[in-house]
Structure 1
Amino acid sequence: MSSLDTVLARGRAAAKARMRDTVHLYSQAPDVFDRSSGNTVPGAKTTLYEGRARVKPVAQAGEDTEASEREVRLLEYEVSLPWDTPLPPGTRVLPGMRVEVTASRDARMVGLVLWVTGTQYGEQATAWRLTTEDRT
Structure 2
Amino acid sequence: MKRIIRPVLLASLLWTCAAACHAQLVVIVSAKNPLASLGESDVADLYLGRTSQLPGGAQAVPIDQAEDDAQRIDFYRLVTGKSQAQLRAYWSKLIFTGRGTPPRSVADAQAVKKLVSGSPNAIGYIDKSELDSTVKAVLTLH
Larger relative helix fraction: 2
Greater RCO, CA 8 A, separation 6+: 2
Q: Which has the higher strand share?
A: 1
User: Would you call these one fold, judging by a TM-score over 0.5?
Assistant: no
Question: Taking structure 2 as the reference length, what is the TM-score of the superposition?
Answer: 0.26
